[in-house]
Structure 1
Amino acid sequence: MPAHVSTLQLIGMAALTLATVAWAVVVTRLLRRNRRAALAWHAGRVLPVLPLQEQAGPPRESVELTPAEQDAFAGLVRRLGGR
């Protein structure tokens, strides 16, 4: 026993250590018991909040360009292509 520690301090430290260990054991058991029940409950639930997802995307849109628009686009691509 260290010389600078009183007997009451050692008893208090031992009691706090035992209380901490007991608390940790009880909390661990409660969490394990509740986890099984929560997993079973969540497995049977369907989330009604999420809408049904479409398998395909929206239809593709396209626009025919006039020859002047095609030339302007080609010029833009040439100007931006060198960067």
Structure 2
Amino acid sequence: MPEHVSILQLVGVVGLVLVTAAWVILLRHTLRHSRSEAAARRSGRPLRPLRALPQQRQAGPPMESVELTPAEQDAFAGLIRRLDDR
């Protein structure tokens, strides 16, 4: 170890090297994974589902509707007219 280099500088350099190595490994893994998914899309094979997401429902929630009284319909029409004037 050179005498003019402090312990903190050495620890900093080692830390940067370790973080850089982890970043390169993660980047290679991500690129390899995206390349395999693109190849699967091109070949028509189904993609594997994301394991971190819960299973999604195929159908949405049931539709809800409320009948408006004639007074409510008139009030709503008046509101729309006022908003259109702006």
TM-score for both structures, normalised by structure 2: 0.47
Find the structure with the greater CA-based Rg: 1
With CA pairs under 8 Å and 6+ residues apart, which has the higher RCO, 1 or 2?
A: 2
TM-score for both structures, normalised by structure 1: 0.49
